[in-house]
Amino acid sequence: MRQYFNYFKIPFILALVGLIPTIVCLIMQANRPLHTRTNTECTTTERVFDYAGRLSASEEQELRDLIAELEPQIGCDLIVVVLDESLQGYAEDRASYWGNVPMSQYTMIYGADFYDEHKFGFNKPIGDGIIFVDNWFREADGRVYSRLNAFEAAQEKFPASVIEDLLDDALEDVEDDPIGAYKKVVTLSARRMGMRGIPVNTSVIFVVACIITAAYLGVNLAHKKGKKTTTNKTYVKGGKPQYLRREDVFLNKTLVTHTISSNSGGGGGGGFTSAGGGSFSSGGHSR
């Protein structure tokens, strides 16, 4: 037991010291004012709509939990829609209201209509909120479009340029890690809306604890019988070989050149009014 306490002396002291700021923060958190949702007409409580099947059930739940934690802090609805279908026909059907829009704005009108249809908004139907639409389908121009529409109060904080920067940052690895990218979109949006603090997922803590413990056990269990301390030359007379001939003769040289090519992507946006009358700003990203 003495060896045990001696071994963990420093971590135990650190845990006791760390307890003080943690308790202070818990008190601060408990006293932080939260917004109350006043929209009673919204047709759904769902916030994550993965029609493309890009997220697993647990990932969807992870995203839902994050949104549920953030919405009362920022007083804003947060909706994520994931598609994998051409929106060309949809845009043509909706041309009577939206007119002929470029392909980069298909996801914008889909998101605005979706928002209207479900009467999202934290304070009222088609009120304060942010809807993010990521469509994995490659439209006729060969590009994949994503869009973020910020309604009502959120509109002020999300000019098109801000949205584009946000999406460029958040969607950098969306192809390899969609859940990571979507969580980043939600977190950055909430932060932009004045959210304080950095959300840390409990499952991440659990996974990190498992990894650290496994590493600790691995290092302490992996003691080998011993290290080899001889070298190739330990038993060589004089410590080195006798070279009878040692040559490195330069023969000739060849030079090859090639030109480096580059590519780029972009979006487009501004201020709009949805069919339901909600005003919103919008910005996009393509890949």
Partner 1 sequence: MIFTCKNCGGNAVFDPKRQAMYCPHCDSEDSADRLENQSSTVCSNCGAPIEVERFTSATKCPHCGTYIILENRVQGSMRPGLILPFKVSKREAVRRMEEEFEKRIFTPSTFLSESTMELLEGSYVPFWLYNYDGEVEYEAKATKVRTWTTGKTEYVETSHYRVVRDMHIDFEKIPVDASTRMADDIMDLLEPYQYKDLIDFDELYMSGFLGEYYSETEDKMSDRAKEKVTEATESILKESVNSCGYSTVKPVHKEVSIVKEKAVFALLPVWVYRYRFRNSQFLIYVNGQTGKVIGESPRDNRKIWGYGGTVFALTLLFGFFVKIILGVF
* 224: amino acid identity, one letter: K
Residues touching partner 1, count (CB under 8 A) = 68
CA 93, CA 96: separation in Å to the nearest integer?
7
User: Cα–Cα distances in Å, from 13 out to 2, 5, 10, 92?
Assistant: 16, 11, 5, 66
Find the shortest distance in angstroms from Cβ 261 to partner 1: 8
Nearest CA among 144, 141, 184 for reference residue 165: 184
220 is written with which tokens?
A: 């302490």
Exposure on the CB side of residue 75, measured as CA atoms within 13 A: 12
Map the footprint of partner 1 across residues 219-278, applying CB under 8 A. 220-221, 223-230, 232-238, 241-260
Residues between 178 and 197 with contacts to partner 1, criterion CB under 8 A: 196-197
Q: Which is nearer to partner 1, 24 or 95 (CB)?
A: 24
Q: Which residues of 66-94 are buried (b: 16+ CB within 10 A; e: fewer)?
A: bbeebbebbbbbbbbbbbeeebeebbeeb
Q: Which is nearer to partner 1, 70 or 87 (CB)?
A: 70
- Secondary structure element (H or E) that encloses residue 154, with its range: helix 153-157
User: Which listed residue (212, 271, 273, 279) binds partner 1 by CB under 8 A?
Assistant: 212
Residue nearer to partner 1 on the CB measure, 83 or 188: 188
**Binding status of residue 156 toward partner 1 by CB under 8 A:** no
Q: Is 209 in the site for partner 1 (CB under 8 A)?
A: yes
What's the closest the beta carbon of residue 62 comes to partner 1, in angstroms?
Answer: 15
Shorter beta-carbon distance to partner 1: residue 224 or 264: 224
Residue numbers 23-62 binding partner 1 by CB under 8 A: 25-26, 28-29, 32
Q: Burial code of 120-153, b = ≥16 C-beta within 10 A, e = fewer?
A: bbbbebbbbbbbbbbbbbebeeeebbbbbbbbbb
The binding site for partner 1 (CB under 8 A) comprises 3-4, 7-8, 11, 14-15, 18-19, 21-22, 25-26, 28-29, 32, 196-200, 202, 205-206, 208-210, 212-213, 216-217, 220-221, 223-230, 232-238, 241-260
